[in-house]
C-alpha cells in the first residue's frame, strides 16, 4: 500500500511541479507550489518522518506560501484580468480528481487491516534530538534563511510601492 501511495503522491508532486512551470499567472503557480509542498509532506509521512511532515505543512505549505502569495499580490499591483478558468482543468482536472479519490478509497478499503503495519527502525530520532541539531549545529543557516526571506519581502514591498 505504501508503494501505491508513493506513486500517487509522487505523481501529484511531479504534476504540480510541471503545472508550476506552465502556468501564466503567478498566483496559480503559487497554488501549484502548495500542491508540491503538501505532496512532499505526505511522502515524508510515508517514510516515517512525522515531525518533518508536520514541519513541511506548517512552515512551507502554510507560512512560506502565504508570504509568497502576499508578495506576488503586492508586486502585481495592477488590475487582474478575469478568466473563466482553464479548459484543461475542466477536461482533465475534475475526472482526474475523481479517479484519484476513487483509487484512494479503493486502496484504503482493501488494505484496511494492514494500515498499522509500519515498523520503526532501530534508531529513533526524537524531537529533542532534532531541535538540538537544528538550534546548535545548524543555527547559522537557519537564521540566514530567515533573514534572506525578510530581505525578499522588504524588496517586494519596495518594488510594489508606488511613486508619488
Mean pLDDT by 10 residues, the chain (164 residues): 86 91 81 88 87 84 76 65 70 83 83 61 75 84 85 80 64
Three state DSSP letters for the chain: CHHHHHHHHHHHHHHHHHHHHHCCCHHHHHHHHHHHHHHHHHHHHHCCCHHHHHHHHHHHHHHHHHHHHHHHHHHCCCCCCCCCCCHHHHHHHHHHHHHHHHHHHHHHHHCHHHCCCCCCCCCCCCHHHHHHHHHHHCHHHHHHHHHHHHHHHHHHHHHHCCCC
**2-77+122-160: in CATH 1.20.120.1200:** yes
Q: What is the pLDDT of residue 120?
A: 57
**Domain spans of the chain, in order of start:** 2-77+122-160
Amino acid at each position: 500500500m505504501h508503494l501505491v501511495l508513493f506513486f500517487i503522491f509522487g505523481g501529484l508532486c511531479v504534476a504540480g511541479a510541471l503545472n508550476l512551470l506552465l502556468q501564466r499567472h503567478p498566483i496559480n503557480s503559487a497554488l501549484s507550489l502548495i500542491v508540491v509542498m503538501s505532496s512532499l509532506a505526505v511522502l515524508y509521512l510515508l517514510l516515517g518522518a512525522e515531525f518533518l511532515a508536520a514541519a513541511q505543512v506548517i512552515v512551507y505549505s502554510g507560512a512560506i506560501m502565504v508570504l509568497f502569495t502576499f508578495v506576488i499580490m503586492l508586486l502585481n499591483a495592477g488590475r487582474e484580468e478575469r478568466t473563466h478558468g482553464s479548459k484543461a482543468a475542466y477536461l482533465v482536472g475534475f475526472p482526474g480528481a475523481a479517479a484519484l479519490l476513487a483509487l484512494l478509497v479503493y486502496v484504503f478499503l482493501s488494505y484496511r487491516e494492514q494500515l498499522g503495519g509500519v515498523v520503526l527502525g532501530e534508531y529513533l530520532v526524537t524531537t529533542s534530538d532534532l531541535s538540538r541539531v537544528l538550534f546548535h549545529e545548524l543555527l547559522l543557516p537557519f537564521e540566514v534563511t530567515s533573514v534572506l526571506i525578510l530581505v525578499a519581502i522588504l524588496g517586494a514591498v519596495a518594488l510594489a510601492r508606488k511613486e508619488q
